[in-house]
Amino acid sequence: MISPALPELPDGATVTSLRDLAVRLATAAGALVREGRPERVVVAATKSSDVDPVTVMDQASEELLREMIAAERPHDAILGEEGDDVAGTSGLTWVLDPIDGTVNYLYGVASWAVSVAVVAGPPEPASWTILAGCVHSIADGRTWSAGLGEGATRDGVPVRVGAPASLGTSLVGTGFGYDAGRRAHQAQVLTQVLPKIRDIRRLGSAAIDLCLLADGSIDLYYERGLNPWDMAAGAIVATEAGAVVTGLRGGPAGNAMTVAGPPDLVAQLTAILEAADADGAGSLERG
Ligand code: LIP
């Protein structure tokens, strides 16, 4: 995958310095969440549906991220899952998911992460340029990061997407939304995908899924309904590791559909998803 052109950066920022800050932010918030996890986690509120939880720790983690960004890069904007948008003047926006995989965090299933990315341009997948990102897996400390044109690493070691022999032998990650109507449609789409691949993994954190794709731990990934904060950091880790990250029918990755993997297999998987109308019928609201 060829990296997009690097835009001019404000305030003496470099891709490397932004990537370093993304790593410091994600690991600091990760330590807060790891050390503060109570024996029994309780739901503080729900969002798009009764099964879309927010915990006190989602809020505390995002609070810490916002404070650190305000101290280090006061002119940048912030788009976070749990708080109000903060306007900026630099043209850069930090896209934050304080705990991606909140349901896993709630139950103690070990796949939850802090996801931090910084983008230039509007903070929407169709028009942003992702400059740097970090996904920090809180339970085990694995840390993936990438900078535009710099490649991607896990714990400092360069990673590349895998090279599965065929779609039929590919292990495919996916996820499901919080809305019941959306899920019913996703289940129908799955009946078209599952017979044509090795197997499915639903691990519960889109950010980690994209990083597992990047380091070859899974072969392909697709999901409908991702929000910008679910995917921003994972998407740059995946593309810098050699993946294509796209939508269907030639469109960009985003809420309607995100497909990621090696180019030839992505082409085969998108054809199946398009035939199954995977970005069509069913509710399209966020979640
Ligand atoms: C979640 C994801 C999960 C996806 C859910 C949701 P949250 O993010 O990462 O993999 O399937 O729809 O978006 O709510 O835990 O931050």
Pocket test for ligand 1, best of 205, 211, 231, 255 (most atoms within 8 A of CB): 205
Backbone torsion region of residue 118, taken as left when φ is above 0, otherwise alpha when ψ lies between -120 and 50, otherwise beta: beta
Q: What is the predicted pLDDT for the residue at 188? A: 96
Q: Say how far apart CA 215 and CA 200 lie, in whole Å.
A: 17
The domains of the chain, with CATH numbers, are: 15-158 (3.30.540.10), 167-275 (3.40.190.80)
Under 8 Å CB-to-CB from 281, ≥6 apart: which residues?
185
Q: Do 135 and 144 contact (CB within 8 A), yes or no?
A: yes
Any atom of ligand 1 within 6 Å of the Cβ of 152: no
| Residue 202 pLDDT greater than 60, yes or no | yes
Q: Whose CA is nearest to atom 5 of ligand 1?
A: 177
Q: What is the predicted pLDDT for the residue at 285? A: 46
From first CA to last CA, the distance across the chain in angstroms is 28
Q: What is the predicted pLDDT for the residue at 286? A: 42
- Reported as a single tens digit per residue, the pLDDT across 233-284 is 999 999 999 999 999 999 999 999 999 999 999 999 999 999 999 998 654 4
Under 8 Å CB-to-CB from 14, ≥6 apart: which residues?
none
Any atom of ligand 1 within 6 Å of the Cβ of 261: no
Pocket test for ligand 1, best of 51, 95, 100 (most atoms within 8 A of CB): 100
Place of tokens 């400390």: 141
CA 198 to chain centre: 23
- Reported as a single tens digit per residue, the pLDDT across 210-229 is 999 999 999 999 999 999 99
CA of 205 to the centre of ligand 1 (A): 5
Any atom of ligand 1 within 6 Å of the Cβ of 255: no
Q: Which of 98, 87, 126 is nearest to 245 (CA)?
A: 126
Any atom of ligand 1 within 6 Å of the Cβ of 98: no
- The binding site for Mg(2+) consists of 81, 97, 99-100, 230
Burial classification of residue 84, based on how many CB atoms lie within 10 Å of its CB (0-12 exposed, 13-18 middle, 19 or more buried) = exposed
- Reported as a single tens digit per residue, the pLDDT across 125-170 is 999 999 999 999 999 999 999 999 999 999 999 999 999 999 999 9
CA of 177 to the centre of ligand 1 (A): 7
Quote the DSSP letter at residue 129: E
CA of 12 to the centre of ligand 1 (A): 34
Q: What is the predicted pLDDT for the residue at 2? A: 63
Q: What pTM was computed for the model?
A: 0.95
Q: Do 220 and 229 contact (CB within 8 A), yes or no?
A: no
